[in-house]
Amino acid sequence: MDWSQHALPPMRPEPRFGDRVVPAFAERPGSLWAMIADAVAENGDGEALVCGTTRLSWREVAEQSAKVAAGFSKLGLAPGDRVAILLGNRIEFVLTMFAAAHAGLVTVLLSTRQQKPEIAYVLNDCGARCLVHEATLADRIPDAAGVPGLAHRIAVSDDGASQFARLRDSAKAQAPAEVREEDTAMILYTSGTTGRPKGAMLAHCNIIHSSMVFVSCLKLTKADRSIAAVPLAHVTGAVANVTTMARCAGALIIMPEFKAAEYLKVAARERVSYTVMVPAMYNLCLMQPDFDSYDLSSWRIGGFGGAPMPIATIEKLDAKIPGLKLANCYGATETTSPSTLMPGELTAAHIDSVGLPCPGAEIVVMGPDGREVPRGEIGELWIRSASVIKGYWNNPKATAESFTAGFWHSGDLGSVDADNFVRVFDRQKDMINRGGLKIYSAEVESVLAGHPAVVESAIIAKPCPVLGERVHAVIVTRAEVNAESLRAWCAERLSDYKVPETVALTAEPLPRNANGKVIKRQLREGLSVS
């Protein structure tokens, strides 16, 4: 099964980054700014960005972005220079991102959760010449001696003294800079398990292709309205929200932070039709006592990823919002977000799958010997598509180790079945080895997700002097339940060696990093050998 039954724009094989040949959409914008210009032509007077009381049309967004681009030029920034963004979810984030596209600059996205040493490393590694930052985070920015190449610091605040406001007051730029499709548009640093983070280089063509995949597969139009409730500085926020809405010329409603009660108010008021969130966020919405009082009938697409969606959540959402289709998405920074998507009508029947390879994506499963394994067997997922990045900034060694003939080595253990459905079981490093028996945490987490009292869970290895590792579960619950009943639930559905031997129950959300991924390392640190 694939996407051929959907009405997709024509694709054709094209060379990419020298030695790759991948299917790409035949008709597409030539740059990120060209895609924004298309949105203006398609829906210039339609709403583009909404945040609080501010509402901007696509024409206004383009005009303001061009003014910021002119401001960057006045500072002496030239095409190819790096502009770092240390902003929360706000309109200035999008304007800076679009202004950089207009001026041919490269944006480097920083998380507001990063601390001074992390920020210093990224700024120095990418050679950023300019930093646009929250005024309230000024104390986290290294001094001049710590980042000698950083020539400009532009603070963003909500008062009239904002340096960004003065930057925007510049005269409108005459014409957008000329860029090539394969030029880097954005650098996102991935959280490495060892060593320093690596700067993934997202080219204009990567971002455009991924945005077109979302629009085509989810059938998005200028009538669609999306909420950005995940961080815009993450690939999901930047691509699945910002650039995807630019591609379809729809509206993006920006939430400074996710709070379930506020989310429901905004979703109802703004007639939101499309979202991308982690399953726990859907659960938190359903747990609001006044959920039924909101008119969410316009909500038709609920994208999710990062964790299994509990069956109970699917059933509740189906009962309360019949028109909502849930679509699992799997991807990474290195794939510019989506590698797989699940057609909404198939989600319930294939709940253990992350979907079908996106149009033009090739996913193979490789064994430890570097050879493809048979369908249905587990190995490392290698991914090749027009969305896969060209490599890592200033790190040819990491690029050579992570890419083979255009295939990115994901580090995820998974399988592809005879019908082309992809399953993801675990990170290679997170697989539990219990006396030689392999246990994939995602499989156990998926079973626990089906229990009506479970909001989410994390399966980790507990050190054992005899077996090496045993299965430990950290479980977030929404109702009173004991550990033994949860173990019994698992025992009815899993092999005996996969059943959690120890359980920690909590009402607190699991710890997550800036990208929304559960920090299992933090959970492991609290365990001892027993």
CATH code where residue 203 lies: 3.40.50.12780
Question: With bands split at pLDDT 50, 70 and 90, how would you rate the model's confidence at 305?
Answer: confident
Q: What is the pLDDT of residue 193?
A: 46
The parent domain of residue 416 ranges over 31-422
- Higher-pLDDT residue of 497, 180: 180
The arithmetic mean of pLDDT across residues 175-189, rounded, is 97
Instruction: Kindly state the greatest CA–CA separation across the chain.
Output: 71
401 and 446, same structural domain?
no
Across 34-43, 63-72, 165-174, least confident range:
165-174
Cα separations in angstroms, 384 against 331, 390, 392: 12, 11, 16
243-297 residue pLDDT tens: 999 999 999 999 999 999 999 999 999 999 999 998 888 988 998 999 999 999 9
Contact 358, 338 (CB under 8 A): yes
Helix/strand/coil for 326? strand
Q: What is the pLDDT of residue 333?
A: 93
Q: What is the pLDDT of residue 54?
A: 95
Please determine, for residue 4, whether its predicted confidence score (pLDDT) is greater than 80. Answer: no
Amino acid at 77: L
Q: Which of 391, 422, 453 is the last residue of a domain?
A: 422
The arithmetic mean of pLDDT across residues 293-317, rounded, is 89
Which CATH number characterizes residue 436's domain?
A: 3.30.300.30
47 and 103, same structural domain?
yes
375 and 473, same structural domain?
no
The span from the CA of 291 to the CA of 264, in Å, is: 7
What's the DSSP call for residue 249?
T
Q: Which of 422, 444, 460 is the last residue of a domain?
A: 422
Please determine, for residue 5, whether its predicted confidence score (pLDDT) is greater than 80. Answer: no
Q: Which residues contact 71 (CB under 8 A, 6 or more apart)?
A: 99, 166, 167, 168, 169, 170
Question: With bands split at pLDDT 50, 70 and 90, how would you rate the model's confidence at 172?
Answer: confident
Contact 72, 106 (CB under 8 A): no
219 and 80, same structural domain?
yes
- Higher-pLDDT residue of 391, 440: 391
Domain count, the chain: 2
Q: Which of 396, 422, 448 is the last residue of a domain?
A: 422
The span from the CA of 27 to the CA of 41, in Å, is: 16
Structural domain contains residue 11: no
450 and 407, same structural domain?
no
303 and 270, same structural domain?
yes
Structural domain contains residue 447: yes
Please determine, for residue 181, whether its predicted confidence score (pLDDT) is greater than 80. Answer: yes
Closest-CA residue to 416 (of 369, 392, 381, 457) = 381
Structural domain contains residue 8: no
Query: How many residues appear in the chain?
Result: 530
Cα-flanking dihedrals φ and ψ of residue 409, to 5°?
A: -80, 105
Across 65-69, 200-204, 512-516, least confident range:
512-516
Please determine, for residue 86, whether its predicted confidence score (pLDDT) is greater than 60. Answer: yes
The arithmetic mean of pLDDT across residues 14-27, rounded, is 95
491 and 416, same structural domain?
no
122-142 residue pLDDT tens: 999 999 999 999 999 999 999
Closest-CA residue to 432 (of 512, 493, 504, 495) = 495
96 and 180, same structural domain?
yes
Structural domain contains residue 24: no
Contact 475, 450 (CB under 8 A): no
CA atoms within 13 A on the CB side of 105: 33
Please determine, for residue 427, whether its predicted confidence score (pLDDT) is greater than 80. Answer: no
355 and 209, same structural domain?
yes
Q: What is the pLDDT of residue 168?
A: 81
Closest-CA residue to 336 (of 281, 388, 414, 400) = 388
381 and 501, same structural domain?
no
Helix/strand/coil for 474? strand
Structural domain contains residue 94: yes
The arithmetic mean of pLDDT across residues 394-421, rounded, is 94
Structural domain contains residue 15: no
308 and 193, same structural domain?
yes
Helix axes 58-74, 91-103, angle to 10 degrees: 60
Q: What is the pLDDT of residue 192?
A: 54
Contact 428, 294 (CB under 8 A): no
Closest-CA residue to 107 (of 235, 231, 276, 213) = 235
Q: What is the pLDDT of residue 251?
A: 98
Amino acid at 193: T
Structural domain contains residue 168: yes
What is the pTM for the complete model shown? 0.87
335-365 residue pLDDT tens: 998 999 999 889 888 988 999 999 999 999 9
Across 28-37, 203-212, 381-390, 439-448, least confident range:
439-448
Question: With bands split at pLDDT 50, 70 and 90, how would you rate the model's confidence at 171?
Answer: confident
Structural domain contains residue 9: no
Question: With bands split at pLDDT 50, 70 and 90, how would you rate the model's confidence at 167?
Answer: confident
Percent of the chain with pLDDT over 70: 97
Mean pLDDT across the chain? 92
487 and 383, same structural domain?
no
